[in-house]
């Protein structure tokens, strides 16, 4: 029953949005395009706190409705309302505006085509980030956490500002470039994923800069993404992070986090087979925030290799191996061991298998299993606490039914 108000709020937003878009469609069908998705599923995990403290099962909800209204061939209004639920820490507080912007497209400047978007714009970071909340577009329910950290999903989704996209086509493929500058936006779930449940302070938005360069040619995609974020935290008087069950805790104070991301991506499609390799390096710098000398700088590193095979028009199989280090300069977890914690709480290896079955044009089913060794990407993220994880090894399974309107 505790989830009922959240579901009612979600249904209300989706109902009002659908009524609005239907009214506009009726008035001008040729100028408006809409899409909507709804995914419902379940996740189960043993021996870790990925879904929440002392929680083994969680409902999965992925819902979005988007629309594009074209005033002319060059000028359009684009928006999407989304909501995601995945456990205690990795869920949206409420339905949110994923993006909402005015876009102008021209081929009269320089070479190729330029697109200018003003408002809340999606970020291209790696292959999957800009459509990570569209269940039919991503390869699995849970994206590879070695690159697409869900604990910092709020930071990566979008910025409020200006985005410039350029595309140039030639005999040697297509070159695409995005530059974005704006203010990051996130909800209160950022507290729990980054610092834990005993924190009542608030993160504040700050400027963000992103760039993404990619080359596409005959089934190949090669890209490089760079981004920089610097959110600040305003602590409440009694904010703490507990790192042992009974006594050991660290006080949280006002501070700032500077996060610089580098993502290198490679994708190749051969007929029915797809190969993806991505590598992410993050420079994580903390200014104050924790009243304890835990280290001002922390380089983070993650990478994965993924294969997908389209067995036929309906069934796609997936396998993935990934490695993640919360502290790339301490890959054996020696600093945690010095605090009396387990070193495996600072890194992880994940082996995944999954499938997607397309029932028809509207219905599809996803199912997957992840075998996780270590807890490097589990919340809370600022300081890992291995006492919250029962065992080093765990299995997470998930299944989702998705309908495309």
Q: Which residues are registered as beta bridge partners of 282?
A: 261, 300
- Calpha distance 109→311 (Å, rounded): 44
The answer to the question of residue 365 being in a domain is: yes
Q: Which residues are registered as beta bridge partners of 79?
A: 67, 100
| Sole residue written with tokens 């989304």 | 82
| Sole residue written with tokens 């608030």 | 202
The answer to the question of residue 46 being in a domain is: no
The answer to the question of residue 370 being in a domain is: yes
**Total domain count for the chain?**
1
In terms of pTM, does the model score above 0.95? no
Burial profile 105-114: b = 16 or more Cβ within 10 angstroms, e = fewer: beeeeeeebb
Would you give per-residue pLDDT tens digits along the chain (405 residues)?
344 444 545 555 555 555 555 555 554 556 888 889 999 999 998 877 777 766 788 899 999 999 999 988 799 999 999 999 988 777 887 888 899 999 999 987 777 899 999 999 999 999 999 888 888 889 999 999 999 988 878 778 889 999 999 999 988 999 999 999 998 877 666 666 666 666 667 777 778 899 999 999 999 999 999 999 888 777 777 766 665 555 566 777 677 778 899 999 999 999 899 999 999 999 877 776 665 555 566 789 999 999 999 999 999 999 999 999 988 888 888 877 777 777 888 889 999 999 999 999 999 999 999 999 988 888 765 555 555 566 788 899 999 999 998
The answer to the question of residue 190 being in a domain is: yes
The answer to the question of residue 92 being in a domain is: no
- Calpha distance 283→281 (Å, rounded): 7
**3-state secondary structure string across the chain:** CCCHHHHHHHHHHHHHHHHHHHHHHHHCCCCEEEEEEEEEEEEEEECCCCCCCCCCEEEEEEEEEEEEEECCCCEEEEEEEEEEEECCCCCCCCCEEEEEEEEEEECCCCCCEEEEEEEEEECCCCCCHHHCCCCCCCCCCCCCCCCCCHHHHHHHCEEEEEEEEEEEEECCEEEEEEEEEEEECCCCHHHHHHHCCCCCCEEECCEEEEEEEEEEECCEEEEEEEEEECCEEECCCCCEEECCCCCCEEEEEEEEEEEEEEEEEEEEEECCEEEEEEEEEEEEEEEEEECCCCCCEEEEEEEEEEEEEECCCCEEEEEEEEEEECCCCCCCCHHHHHCCCCHHHHEEEEEEEEEEEECCCCEEEEEEEEEEEECCCCCCCCCCCHHHCCCCEEEEEEEEEEEEC
Give me the pLDDT at residue 27, please. 46
Give me the pLDDT at residue 259, please. 84
For residue 160, CA distances in Å to 133, 209, 329 come to: 18, 11, 34
User: Looking at residue 113, which CATH number applies to its domain?
Assistant: 2.40.160
Cα torsion for 108, 111, 112, 114, to the nearest 10°?
-60
Give me the pLDDT at residue 230, please. 81
- Provide the residue range defining the domain that includes 315: 67-77+97-404
- Calpha distance 226→260 (Å, rounded): 7
- Calpha distance 372→368 (Å, rounded): 13
What token pair was written down for 302?
């993650």
The answer to the question of residue 13 being in a domain is: no
Nearest C-alpha neighbor of 313 from the set 270, 362, 358:
358
The answer to the question of residue 58 being in a domain is: no
The answer to the question of residue 24 being in a domain is: no
Give me the pLDDT at residue 2, please. 41
């Amino acid at each position: 029953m505790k989830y009922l108000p959240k579901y009612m709020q979600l249904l209300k937003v989706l109902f009002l949005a659908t009524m609005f878009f239907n009214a506009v469609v009726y008035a001008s069908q040729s100028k408006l395009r809409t899409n909507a998705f709804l995914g419902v599923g379940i996740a189960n995990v043993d021996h870790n706190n990925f879904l929440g403290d002392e929680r083994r099962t969680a409902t999965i909800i992925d819902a979005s409705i988007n629309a594009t209204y074209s005033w002319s061939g060059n000028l359009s209004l684009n928006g999407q309302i989304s909501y995601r639920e995945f456990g205690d820490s990795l869920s949206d507080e409420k339905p949110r505006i994923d993006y909402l912007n005015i876009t102008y497209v021209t081929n009269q400047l320089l070479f190729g085509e330029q697109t200018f978007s003003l408002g809340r714009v999606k970020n291209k970071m790696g292959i999957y980030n800009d459509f990570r909340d569209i269940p039919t577009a991503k390869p699995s329910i849970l994206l590879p956490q070695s690159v697409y950290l869900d604990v910092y999903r709020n930071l990566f989704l979008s910025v409020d500002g200006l985005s410039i996209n350029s595309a140039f086509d030639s005999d040697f493929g297509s070159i695409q470039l995005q530059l974005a500058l704006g203010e990051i936006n996130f909800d209160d779930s950022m507290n729990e994923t980054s610092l834990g449940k005993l924190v009542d302070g608030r993160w504040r938005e700050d400027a963000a800069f992103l760039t993404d360069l990619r080359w596409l040619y005959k089934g190949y995609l090669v890209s490089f993404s760079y981004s920089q974020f610097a959110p600040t935290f305003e602590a409440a008087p009694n904010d703490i992070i507990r790192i042992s069950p009974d006594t050991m805790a660290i006080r949280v104070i006002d501070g700032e986090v500077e996060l610089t991301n580098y993502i290198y991506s490679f994708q190749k499609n051969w007929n029915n087979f797809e190969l993806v390799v991505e590598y992410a390096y993050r420079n994580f710098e903390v200014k104050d925030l924790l009243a304890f000398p835990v280290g001002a700088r922390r380089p983070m590193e993650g990478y994965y290799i993924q294969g997908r095979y389209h067995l036929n028009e309906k069934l796609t199989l997936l396998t993935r191996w990934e490695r993640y280090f919360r502290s790339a300069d301490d890959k054996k977890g020696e600093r945690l061991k010095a605090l009396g914690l387990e070193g495996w709480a600072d890194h992880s290896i994940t082996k995944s298998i999954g499938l997607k079955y397309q029932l028809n044009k509207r219905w599809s089913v996803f199912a997957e299993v992840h075998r996780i060794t270590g807890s490097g990407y589990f919340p809370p993220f600022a300081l890992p606490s291995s006492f919250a994880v029962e065992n080093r090894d765990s299995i997470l399974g998930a299944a989702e039914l998705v309908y495309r309107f």
